Structure 1
Amino acid sequence: MVRNRTRASGFTLVELLVVIAIIGVLVGLLLPAVQAAREAARRMQCSNNFKQIGLGIHNYHSAYNALPQQAGGTYVDGDWGGSGPGRTTNRFRLSWLPALLPFVEQQGLWEQISNPYNLDMNGNAIDPGFPPMGPAPWGGAYRPWFTEVGTFRCPSDPGRGAPAHGRTNYAACIGDSTDWVNHGYMRHNNGQWVLTPNNGQSANATNRGFFYHRRQLKFRDVLDGLSNTIACGEIATDLGDNAITTNARYGVGWGTIHNNPAHCRDQAGWIDPARPQFWDPDAAGTGSNGLRTGNADWKRGFRWMDTPIIYTGFNCILPPNAEICFGGAGDFDTGACPPSSRHQGGVHVLMGDGAVKFVTDSIDSGNIHNGVVMRGQTGNRAPGSASPYGLWGALSTRGMKEVVNIDDL
């Protein structure tokens, strides 16, 4: 008698394990491609945000025949300003971004800021309230300063929330120097903003960028051509992780930073040799080396409405994604403060003509140990000199007649 043996349908255990292993390998191969595609989409959205900001700058200039002012706002003689209700002035501390709000489809927020505002942080009515154009942009009592504006944020940057106010990932280019670029055209002295011949000469010698603190420029001031001059750049916001690109090192000394913008990287033990994107945590305090980190909210991009370079500015001395090293010990001070991003290998920059370019970390930045151009210096540091910082520095100056090739970006 012959029996017909039929095999049961389905997979054996070995076959099932092989299929699962193959699927696992395929997922492992595919996942990096998916992540890369997502980052490419985020980078494209970041570029689109910058294009919107560029259009906003040009529309603002068409409306007012001037650029939005970095370090503008309101000021009253003898009034030191402040952040609480009842104040009358923001002490010329507003960045270039609030003025752009109506030109980037943020009319509602602009109406809140440009008119008297009589609500507290919980939305309850208060009297007295806040003045038109808001109070000074520090402290925590004025709700509009805590608003996150989508156009001002790069989707690749995960930073959110306290201790920041409203964050920004886009900053103004102030040139290639560290001297007088925080005060700009006027200096605050005993409750007054004053301009003296000495102040003016020092400031004019060093404020060579597309934006100039407390002085409103126009397109006609950009003598090197809008297409050859960086207007704005991308910055990463701080995540509380001791990163060299977002957590400034304060108080190294003004003479030190003017004479060697790369001072912080020259100090043994300041940057973690095993993780060069971060400061060495053993050197993060206020020890004998003078290395200080500042207050919890003195971090990169933490206030989109505030003027100091740590929040809404940068200079083109050190290359993109390099360390931040400040001469002074406060958030209003400055130093070597390059742009940065969460994108791999570089940052977006907005040119004066509205074009968005991607600048790599390896861009020619000349001799970063060379002292900055400033009044009282000679040689390649004398006022009116070409930038000592290569193509990178040349792109940041608005009228030094450097010959640049934009295709090198």
Structure 2
Amino acid sequence: TSITQRPSKSGFTLIELLVVIAIIAILIALLLPAIQQSREVARRTQCKNNLAQLSLALHNYAMAHQVLPPGCVNPTGPIRTEEKGYHYSWIVQILPYIEENNAYHKFDFAVSVYDEKHLDVLMHTIPLLLCPSNPARGGNTYVGCQHDVEAPIDVDNNGVLFLNSSIAYRDITDGRSHTLFLSEVADLGELGWASGTASSLRNAGSGINGNMPLVNVPGSPSLRLQDLENGEEPAEELDEEYLLHVGGFSSWHSGGVHAALGDGSIRFISEQIDQETLRRLANRADGELIEDF
């Protein structure tokens, strides 16, 4: 009798398996950048929406009070980025206009913003204040425009949000569509969104994404004074210099930052922008009308 032999089933060989894995790896390598790019587009859109809502809140505040909120409230200036002072920020003033009434009413305006009774509200995370491209979850990534050059936060700044400012729309003689109100910062603000310091205010004194790091500020991961090798300038003077330093605009977006103009429009400002153009945008009344940038 003859025995019928069935053909044996062959599985994947090692070479075939490696080829399949290589093809899958190539597909992932091709698709991953596209997926990441689409996610960043979505994050940029959300960032623009956040700025638009903050811009609208500023406008609603101005309609209710006839002036924009003060960038920082404090008896005297210049303002140092440290936990000493009254220091209520413009963000605190607009809390009722961004559906944060509960947070607003937790502040006791008879005492400093840093008073221990404010600990809970200072730790409160407001999603609207966070750019989704920033990997950190907390703090503040949106700042007001304080001045057109690097200078301490004080009463004589020429932006729209600064120390004890009360800018009416009529004071913005360049026109709101030609004036920078808000932009972004990548370092989250060392003292939080309620502090009217460099944590919520910046200027056009440095290039986009070219910010000078703060040091000796609570919570700052930046360079420390003891790491600076400077035999000519005493540490105390460096400390004062850095505490008064405000810094420029920056973001986690590639190539630039989003910014809100006074008319509510949201623009993307390239990090290649001419420095003089940026300064003119930051100054509310220099007579220079910037159309294209």
Same fold (TM over 0.5): yes
Letter in 2 for 1:109: A
- 1:111-168 CA distance string (max 9 Å, x none): 222xxxxxxxxxxxxxxxxxx23632346552111211111111111234xxxxx611
Kindly indicate whether structure 1 or structure 2 has the higher relative contact order, using CA contacts under 8 Å at least 6 residues apart. 2
What amino acid sits opposite 2:264 in the alignment? G
Q: Verify: 1:135 aligned to 2:103, yes or no.
A: no
Taking every aligned residue pair, what percent have the same amino acid on both sides? 32
Map 1:218-233 onto structure 2 (within 5 A): 218-233=168-183
CA contact (8 A) 2:72 2:161 kept: no
Which amino acid in the other structure matches residue 135 of structure 1? V
Match of 1:23 in 2: 24
Query: 1:35 & 1:353 partners in 2: Cα distance?
Result: 32
The superposition leaves residues 188-209 of structure 1 with CA deviations (integer Å, 9 ceiling, x where unpaired) of xxxxxxxxxxxxxxx3xxx111
Partner of 2:230: none
Q: Which one has a larger percent helix, Structure 1 or Structure 2?
A: 2
Give the aligned partner of residue 103 of structure 2.
Answer: 109
Among 143, 148, 154, which residue is 2:125 paired with? 148
Measure the CA separation in 1 of the matches of 2:205 and 2:133: 25
Give, in whole Å, the separation in 1 of the partners of 2:110 and 2:135.
Answer: 28
Q: Distance in 1 between matches of 2:184 and 2:192?
A: 14
Task: Extract unaligned runs of 5+ from structure 1.
Answer: 76-82, 84-89, 114-131, 161-165, 186-202, 239-299, 366-389
Query: Given the superposition, is the C-alpha separation of residues 145 and 134 from structure 1 closer, same or farther in structure 2, using an over 3 Å criterion?
Result: farther
How far apart are residue 341 of structure 1 and its match?
Answer: 0.7
1:266-317, Cα deviation, whole Å (9 max, x unpaired) = xxxxxxxxxxxxxxxxxxxxxxxxxxxxxxxxxx4541111122x1111112
1:320 alignment partner, one of 179, 204, 208: 208
Q: Which residue of 2 aligns with 1:99?
A: 93
In the superposition, relative to structure 1, how do residues 352 and 38 fare at CA in structure 2: closer, same or farther (>3 Å)?
same
**Partner secondary structure for residue 17 of structure 1:** helix
Query: Shift of the alpha carbon at 1:54?
Result: 0.7
**Displacement of 1:91:** 4.8
Change (3 A) 1:317 1:42: same
Give 1:53 shift.
0.2
Counterpart selection for 1:175 from 129, 147, 150: 147
Residue 48 of structure 2 is matched in structure 1 by: 47
State how far apart, in whole Å, the 2-side matches of 1:332 and 1:168 are: 20
**Separation in 2, partners of 1:178, 1:31:** 40
1:347 alignment partner in structure 2: 257
The normalised TM-score by structure 1 is 0.59
CA distance in 2, matches of 1:112, 1:208: 32
Question: What is the count of residue pairs matched by the alignment?
Answer: 264
Q: Does 1:61 align with 2:55?
A: no
Change (3 A) 1:346 1:140: farther
- Counterpart selection for 2:193 from 298, 304, 312: 304
Distance 1:12 1:24 in 2: 19
In structure 2, stretches of 5+ residues that fail to align are: 76-82, 215-236
How far is 1:15 from its partner?
A: 2.6
2:247 corresponds to which letter in structure 1?
C
Matched position secondary structure for 1:329: helix
- In structure 2, do the counterparts of structure 1 residues 148 and 345 end up closer, same or farther at CA, with 3 Å as the change threshold? same
Seen in structure 2, the aligned counterparts of structure 1 residues 306 and 328 have a Cα distance that, compared at 3 Å, is: farther
| Cα distance, 1:363 vs structure 2 | 0.4
The two structures have a TM-score, normalised by structure 2, of 0.80
Contact 2:162 2:201 in 1 (8 A): no
Q: Which amino acid aligns with 1:133?
A: F
SS at 1:322 equivalent: coil
Distance 2:246 2:112 in 1: 25
Report the alpha carbon displacement of residue 110 of structure 1 after superposing the two structures with TM.
1.5
The alignment partner of 1:395 has SS state of helix
Q: How far apart, CA to CA, are the structure 1 residues paired with 2:209 and 2:91? A: 22
One-letter amino acid matched to 2:20: V
